[in-house]
Structure 1
Amino acid sequence: MVEIASTELGRKDAPCVVFAHGWARSHADFIAIAELIAPHARCVLLDLPGFGDSPRPDGTWGTQEYADCLRAHLNGMRVSDYIWVGHSFGARVGLRLAAMPDSPIKALVLAGAAGVKRPVPKWKQIKGSWRSREFKRKKAQAVDEAALIALEREYGSPDYVQSRDLGLRDIFVKTVQEDQSDAVGAITCPTTLIYGGKDTETPPEVGKILHRLISNSAYIECPEFDHLSILTRGRHQIAMVLKEQLVGGHA
């Protein structure tokens, strides 16, 4: 079992809110939001395995392994009923946890959530296939590691490139290839999906797909925010949703 680093804010006797960050980020992304709801909640801010102060898993984990590990960790903290707040990769894990038959999650609040595939226009499929072939052709001709890294920077996404430096390339590839479309329909807890209108990493289209698939869900779009500013300039929107859950007694 991986040792999970975490930080706590708020009241020990209050309902618990668990925060799970995005890829290559840490619990620090959620400190400002946790401070806003601390009078009403016990806030547990996680460093997911492989990020922040938590060591990487021994094997090639997907979101199911992350979900199982984090559930066991939280059980060890005597936390069984909680609101899960996830951003991007942390939302992928939250979706997996919430879809379990005996899920410990009382409500989901997800910002820039990933986890389902969106339709790709034919022209983009053709362009993507061409780029993939070009990358593989040039990769086979690379004379050293420096040339290979340069190719990755030319053809790969920023997260794909960074996954090499993090030593998490295997986990990155496995998780981004997952599609939870068939699983998220089992989620019954109240789910709020919050997206930035300017998010190009997990665009609003992804949120609308999740909204259609999760019956007890609400969709909120903030036009002026992108993938990261939804957590900073958009923190009050997320905090407002959480306060409604906590003070209103819905969680």
Structure 2
Amino acid sequence: MPKATPLTFLYLHYWAGSGRAFQAVAERLAPDYAVLAPDLGGFGDAPAPAGGYTVDAYADEVAAFVAAHQLTDYVLVGHSMGGKIALALAARQPAGLRGVALLSPSPPTPEPMTDADRKASLHAWGQRVEAENTLQHITARPLAPALRQHILADNLRSSKAAWDAWLLHGSRENLVARMCEVRVPCTILAGDQDAVMSPSVHGLETLPLLPEGTPLEIIAAAGHLLPYEAPDEVATLLRAFGEKVRQWASAAH
């Protein structure tokens, strides 16, 4: 019998990040799981998305990526901004989607952010000192100098159009009415020291809208950048989720 195609984890990165944030987790998931981690339009090395910077336009991009790579068994791993995009795509019930793992996700509701914080973030684009301050604020565990440089470089190469669009529009989109269409297994992973989106935000804004039984997994002493800060814990939890997804898919068939 031919060997079954491995389940693929498709990582959608955080705002002002890139796909390389998932590298350490991907190494820990290999060879049992395939991993893909594209840059999203306007971030990393990706050009501007053809359809604009709305959550649905990004979801269209991801759907096209799935089709181009002929994925037939995959899990969306949505991190922060990528979480909102993952939920928008999952609500379409695309063929081959087996589950959704949310890492410190932007909720389906408008993201909680004060006007002052939004204004400050808009003015921070392209400024290294501000990028360093942000990195300090959103992480709780010490990071190797090389990783810090990766994070700062990604922040500084974000396009202004993508940067502003998320702050002004994407983060404010409301997907609540669609969440009843998300019908695959889900899980949420959150750091208990996340200064951007605390576990209580996920418990109040996201968890009640996901399928019954969705767990909220708390990673101790971790901040917002879970793949960088806690790759061991993230990989372990994703492995367990991958097994759950496989069992669910087998039962469904």
CA contact (8 A) 2:110 2:174 kept: no
| Aligned counterparts of 1:75 and 1:179: Cα–Cα separation in 2 | 26
- Structure 2: 5+ residue stretches without partners: 128-157
Alignment equivalent of 1:173, drawn from 165, 168, 185: 168
1:75-224 alignment runs, 5 A limit: 75-102=67-94, 104-117=96-109, 156-158=119-121, 161-162=124-125, 166-168=159-161, 169-208=164-203, 209-216=205-212, 217-224=214-221
Contact 1:118/1:205 (8 A) holds in 2: no
- Aligned CA distance change for structure 1 residues 171 and 35 (closer, same or farther; 3 Å): same
1:31 maps to what in 2? 23
Partner of 1:134: none
1:243 to 1:161, Cα distance in 2 relative to 1, 3 A: same
The 1:45–1:65 alpha-carbon spacing in structure 2 relative to 1, beyond 3 Å, is same
3-state SS of 2:234 partner: helix
Q: How does 1:54-69 map to 2 (within 5 A)?
A: 54-58=46-50, 60-69=52-61
Deviation at 1:116, TM superposition (A): 3.2
TM-score where L is the length of structure 1: 0.74
Higher RCO structure, 1 or 2 (CA under 8 Å, sep 6+): 2
Bigger shift: 94-103 or 193-202?
94-103
Check conservation: 1:192, 1:219, Cα contact below 8 A.
Answer: yes
SS at match of 1:68: helix
Q: C-alpha displacement at 1:24, in angstroms?
A: 0.9
- Largest Rg, 1 or 2: 1
* CA displacement 1:52-85 (0-9 Å, x = unmatched): 1111125532111111121112111111331111
The answer for the alignment partner of 2:6 in structure 1 is 14
Please list every run of 5 or more consecutive structure 1 residues that lacks an aligned counterpart in the other structure.
1-10, 132-153
Counting aligned pairs with the same residue, the percent is 23
What CA RMSD, in Å, does the superposition of the two structures yield over aligned residues? 2.8
